[in-house]
Structure formats: C-alpha cells, structure tokens
Amino acid sequence: MKKVIKLICIILPLLIFVVGVNVYVDPANTYRTIPVSNKIISAFRSDQNMIISENYSDRTLIKKIILETDLSAPTIVMGSSRGAQISSDILGSESLNTSVTAAALEDIAAIWQMYLDSGKADDLENVVLSIDPWIFNENNNEARYQSYYYSYAKQFFRSCGLDLNTKNYLRYLGLGTNCISVAYFQASVKALPGRIAQDPIELFVPTDMPQAMGSPVLRSDNSYVYPMNYEYAEPTAVYDRVSLALRGIVDTFEEAKHPSERNTVVFENLILSMQSKGINVYFVISPYNPYVWDAMAADPKRYSFIFEVEDYLKDFAGNNGIPVAGSYDPGACGFSYGEFMDALHINSAATAILIDGLLKR
C-alpha cells in the first residue's frame, strides 16, 4: 500500500499542474464567466453600432443578452460566423443575431434552451437557422460550445426523451473533464500570456459608421460587419485565404461519411420543439467558395458527407414546411469567386441576395 501511495505522490504534482493551468487559463471559458461590459448592452438599447475587438467573447455576450437582459426581438438568427452577417435590414424584420463563431449543433441547442429557460421563446415569431454541414459530424473537433455545457446537456437530454444511455453518459463524463485534457492544456499554454495580461481586452467603441476600415462592427441587432479591408480584399488575397483555410475546412467533416444519427435526432427534435411553439423556422444554407466547392465536387465519393447533409436538410425542410434559402454549391446560388471574402464567407451584398424575401416565403 505504501508503494501505491508513493506512486500517487509522484503522479499527483503533474496532475495538479495540468489541472491548475487548465482551470486558470480556461481558453474555452468552461469554468468561468467572462464579464461582458454593460457598455455593449447600453449601446444595443440605444440602437448604436459598436467597433469591437476581434477577440471578444461572443458566446458570453449571447448568454448575457438572453438570460440577463430584457433585450429581445420577434426574429432570431442562429448559426456560425457564416450566418453572423444576417441583419434586421437584410431580413426586413426586427431581429437579434445569436450566431457564434464555429457554431456546433451543441451551441444551437444550448441557445434554444436558454430561450426556453428565459421564457423568451414564447415571444418569438421566426427562427432563421444558418446551417453548416459540420454540425452533423459528431467528431468535428469543436469544443468552444463547452461554455454552454449545462444548457446544451439540458436540451440534449430533453430531445432524447431523457434517454440516459451509457454511450451518452460516458460522453458527458468526458465533456465535463476539460481540466485534465492534454489538448486543453496545450490550448491553455498558448493562451497563457494573454490570460496573465488579462486578455481578451474588450474594446467596444460606439460608432455611427455602418462599417470600419480595419475592425469589425457589431450592429445593434448583434449582426456582424466585416472590416472593409477584409470584405473588399484583392482576389489574390482572397485566394491566399482560401488556400490557407482549405485543409481546416474539409477537416471538419472529411472523416464523416454520413450525417450523424445522434446529431440528426437532436437537430430534428430542436426544430420540432420550435415549431410546436408556433415559431416559423427558416433554413439558410450558405455556400462555400467555388475553390473549395470544386475541390469537393471533384471527389464526390470522398466528400459525400456534404452532399448528403444538403439532401437531408432539403428533404427534412420539405417534409416540415420549412422554407430554404441557398445551397453549399455556390453555382446553385448564382455566386462566383467575386461574392466571397474567403473560403467560407460571402460578402454582405451576396448575403442580402441569398436571404432576399426569405421571411415572406
């Protein structure tokens, strides 16, 4: 027994070190809540745009808006950065954009749960869902949603009819233990200098400008405006961005062959839960840059996942009376290279074309 205690004493300092760094730095904000400046809430109330720092915590802001303020709108937009540009002006209806960077299905489920918990779901009329293919891949390597862990777990178990089977139980066991994860430790080490310097510095400057040259602007409906130098970059610069991002993009679903059974169950229950409250649901399928699309279309067997997801979404929408705008195929949307800022994002003009008249359908 003495020897076992000695072995534990040898291992323990290492474990304490890893847990300490992970909990202190906590790059995904799993164990702490970053306070969001009230300045931004005040600006939203007075219909003012904000120039923002690029590393502000968008998930914390959304959570605060839903759970701690009375800010609401009859229409909400959900999705990733690919849906973040959808504004009230584009939709033609007062809206709140709740998109978060690299949204996973877990983010969307958690945000919906927050709407239910806050009672705001009862006042909603429309939900515009910008759907990325990777949300149907269980192994998309996205972990940022873990700051929404509790809301997500609640929504997940609800959508599963509280089916606490072993597989899911183990999954949550794993999710709740970021503190001893090696991958999380490496992310923590990278973020450590910023954490010591109390980064991210939240920089919110009220502005009347609709767009800024080098910084993003957050509109009062929480929709996102890319910096001018990013949106109107030279085609060569856009091409460079695409080349750099290509591998990362296909990595989000390359290993998956079919939409995950678990995720489709959660997704369908989510939509049906919205519809049961009398909410009109709309799907937006934002296209990929033609460079990316062509690479995938050239090898349909390898990238069958993305084609299957689109077919599945359109079938599901058709069966449940949900209007759909767009396609992952840029050609099907009538878009070419010029409409894209990078591999994943269309510019604001193309967004307006894509969404045009959606809520009237």
Partner 1 sequence: MSLVSTTFAILVILALLIRYLVPKPYNRIGLLLLSYIFVYSYSAGSLVVLLLISCAGYIGQYQVEDPGKKSPKYTICIIFILLLLLVYNYFGFFSRLIPSAGAAYSAFKASPFGLFIPIGISFYGLSVIGSIVDSKKGLYSEKDILTYFLFAGWFPQILSGPIARARDLCPALKDLSSFDYDNLRNGLIRFVSGVFIKYTLADVLSTAVLTQYDPKDVLIATGSGLLFATVFYTVQIYADFVAYTWMVRGLSEMFGIMLNINFNAPYTSFSVREFWRRWHISLSSWLREYVYFSLGGSRKGTLRTCINTLVVFFVSGLWHGASFNYIVWGLLHGLYISLEILLSGPRKKLDEKYPKNVIIKGFEWLITFCLVSFAWIFFRSESLNNAFYIISKLADSISLSEIFSAGFFTRFQVSNIHWIVAAAAFLVLVVSDILQNLREKDLPALIISAPLWARIVLCYLMVGSVLFWGAVGSSQFIYFQF
The site for partner 1 (CB under 8 A) is made up of 3-4, 7, 10, 14, 18, 141, 166-167, 170-171, 173-174, 177, 180-183, 185-186, 189, 246, 261, 295, 299, 302
The CB-of-352 to partner 1 minimum distance in angstroms stands at 33
Q: Which residues make Cβ contacts (< 8 Å) with residue 246, sequence separation at least 6?
A: 291, 292, 295, 343
Q: CB-wise, 150 or 169, nearer to partner 1?
A: 169
The CB-of-154 to partner 1 minimum distance in angstroms stands at 21
Q: CB-wise, 10 or 213, nearer to partner 1?
A: 10
The CB-of-178 to partner 1 minimum distance in angstroms stands at 8
Q: CB-wise, 125 or 254, nearer to partner 1?
A: 254
Q: CB-wise, 16 or 170, nearer to partner 1?
A: 170
Q: Which residues make Cβ contacts (< 8 Å) with residue 127, sequence separation at least 6?
A: 75, 76, 77, 78, 274, 279, 280, 281, 282
Residues facing residue 258 across a β-bridge: none
Q: CB-wise, 55 or 186, nearer to partner 1?
A: 186
Compute the C-alpha angle 16/20/22, nearest 5°: 120
- Name the strand (E) or helix (H) holding 205: strand 204-207
Compute the C-alpha angle 238/239/243, nearest 5°: 120
The CB-of-68 to partner 1 minimum distance in angstroms stands at 31
End-to-end CA distance of the chain: 72
The CB-of-85 to partner 1 minimum distance in angstroms stands at 29
Hey, CA dihedral for 255, 261, 262, 268, is it positive or negative? positive
Compute the C-alpha angle 324/228/58, nearest 5°: 60
Q: CB-wise, 223 or 260, nearer to partner 1?
A: 260
The CB-of-227 to partner 1 minimum distance in angstroms stands at 28
Between 261-276 and 105-118, two packed helices, what is the crossing angle to 10 degrees? 30
Q: CB-wise, 45 or 302, nearer to partner 1?
A: 302
* The amino acid at 93: S
The CB-of-295 to partner 1 minimum distance in angstroms stands at 6
